[in-house]
Amino acid sequence: MSSHETTRRTLPFGPVLILSAVALISVNLRPGATSLGPLLEEVRAALGLGGTLAGVLTALPGLAFAAAGGAAVGLARRVGVSAGITLGVVAVVVTLIARVLTDSAAVFLVLTALGLAGMGLGNVLVPAWIKAHSHDGGVRLMTIYGMGLTIGGTAGPLLAAPVAASAPGGWRGALGMWGVVALAALVPWVVITLRDRVHRRSAGENPTSRIRHSPTAIALTVLFGVQSTNAYVQFGWLPQIYRDAGISATGAGALTSVLAGLGILGGLVMPTVIARSRDLSAWMVGFGLLAAGGYLGLLLAPATVPWLWVVLLGLSGFAFPTAIALITARTRDPHVTAQLSGFVQPVGYLLAGIGPFLVGVLYELTGGWTLVLVLLMATGVGITLSGLRVARPVFVDDEVA
């Protein structure tokens, strides 16, 4: 009997419980991080955060995701994948509520880091859980998961300022509400964990260290890292690029919101494309060309047809849900899925944390966007080359066997 069949018999979760658990956790793995940016000035003023600590705060998501992601597989071996996810959700709920109750900058930073670490556990472990509890290889659940990540990530900054303007407590209410919202995700995961009696890794599981010997795993890590860097740079700096080109703040925000809308579409489409395609090479070449074209347009004529450049970048961003979905599509055994996820995502999010910082440094040093955009155009090459390596259905399980 396969490990997949064993898991399904031992864990008789109904489809409603599974769907609700995946949907709710996916929506809650981003807002706690993305809602902070629009309210950073208010947080700095209330807590007395200096420029250095504010910089640390903005770098925390990528760093915490990387650190927690690296530890996630080891934790899952000890307590089980379901319990590891539940612990992550508990951390999100407790810390996002607790951090808005403090007036200490140090305590706020520590609680933020712990909450982000909880999200990092979910980043790595949820794809493995999906692989173990899917009848179709994870296509349907990964579609829901990818869309939920995008919706949650978009809702955070979109609702931050309006809620802060109307909610009791101002910025505290706007940030704290995401801890309350995460309570909805905690309920199904507690139920699942109480039913889950499979806590130890099976005897046939491959050692985590062997994942690094898989060319597919390495290429997928590069693809995930490059596209994650692009995504964080775009959400962090694209509005400023447009404003420097003479577009109003409102217009720049509206253009940036197009990225989010296309991201939702990508999360809906790409898992099915992957499941039905024997070769994704054309898609990977397209992602790279679209990225290079979008950045070239921003370099040469940012205010001429600004909507075109953001559409090109948004379509190139389909590479992100593609990389997420490939974590399950390029593995057979859920244990290998967990190891691959724990290998790919920490590196990717570390790059995503460093990328926006380096863009800011280059922008300040050069006083413009030329060098930044030329370097970002080169990421199209990285997307294509790494994408071509994972375009065919080669399984990591076979490479590490």
pLDDT at 260: 80
pLDDT at 349: 83
Q: Tell me: do 270 and 149 sit in the same domain.
A: no
pLDDT at 134: 82
Which residues, 6+ apart, have CB-to-CB distance to 126 below 8 Å?
A: 22, 25, 26, 29, 85, 145
Q: Tell me which residue of 124, 71, 78 sits closest to 337, measured CA to CA.
A: 124
Q: How does pLDDT run across 145-186, given as a tens digit for each residue?
A: 988 998 998 888 888 888 888 888 899 999 999 999 999 999
The Cα 315–Cα 383 span in angstroms is 13
Q: Which amino acid is at 92?
A: V
Among candidate residues 140, 167, 195, the one where a domain is terminated: 195
The model's pTM is: 0.81
Tell whether the model's pLDDT for residue 249 goes beyond 80.
no
Q: Tell me: do 191 and 214 sit in the same domain.
A: no
Q: Which amino acid is at 242?
A: Y
Tell whether the model's pLDDT for residue 125 goes beyond 80.
yes
Residues, the chain, total?
401
Q: How does pLDDT run across 294-320, given as a tens digit for each residue?
A: 999 999 999 999 999 999 999 999 999
pLDDT at 209: 52
Provide the pLDDT confidence category of residue 216 given band limits of 50, 70 and 90: very high
Q: How does pLDDT run across 218-236, given as a tens digit for each residue?
A: 999 999 999 989 988 887 7
Provide the pLDDT confidence category of residue 283 given band limits of 50, 70 and 90: very high
For residues 224 and 344, the answer to whether their CB atoms sit within 8 Å is yes
Q: Tell me: do 277 and 152 sit in the same domain.
A: no
The Cα 322–Cα 337 span in angstroms is 15
Number of neighbouring beta carbons within 10 Å of residue 289: 15
**Residue located via tokens 């659940």:** 141
Q: Tell me: do 40 and 119 sit in the same domain.
A: yes
Q: Tell me which residue of 57, 182, 168 sits closest to 107, measured CA to CA.
A: 57
Count: domains in the chain: 2
CATH number at residue 51: 1.20.1250.20
Q: Tell me: do 28 and 60 sit in the same domain.
A: yes
Is residue 202 domain-resident? no
Q: How does pLDDT run across 45-100, given as a tens digit for each residue?
A: 899 887 777 777 877 888 888 889 889 988 988 999 999 999 999 999 999 999 99
Tell whether the model's pLDDT for residue 4 goes beyond 60.
no
Q: Tell me: do 352 and 318 sit in the same domain.
A: yes
Q: Tell me: do 92 and 217 sit in the same domain.
A: no
Q: Tell me: do 276 and 385 sit in the same domain.
A: yes
190-199, 244-253, 270-279: the lowest-pLDDT one: 190-199
For residues 338 and 124, the answer to whether their CB atoms sit within 8 Å is yes
Its domain, for residue 122, covers 3-195
Q: Tell me: do 258 and 330 sit in the same domain.
A: yes
